[in-house]
Structure 1
């Protein structure tokens, strides 16, 4: 689920991307590599 902070999270785990592999990592709420945006105009 996309949180109000832009995190893709489930419970305390977030999708994290630091330039290599996409991983599941504990959420830290500092955005950066855990901040995601959804664009309704892209299909």
Structure 2
């Protein structure tokens, strides 16, 4: 029973860490997109 609890806790921890990583990557990609957009607007003007 204890082994099952440890495995479930480890799986939950890994799942949470993966979600945070994906969310962080999404924010970084969004920021890079904004920077490219701003640079394109500057060049256009």
More helix by share: 2
Of the two, which has the highest radius of gyration? 2
**What range is the shorter-chain TM-score in?**
under 0.3
Instruction: Kindly indicate whether structure 1 or structure 2 has the higher relative contact order, using CA contacts under 8 Å at least 6 residues apart.
Output: 1
Higher strand share: 1
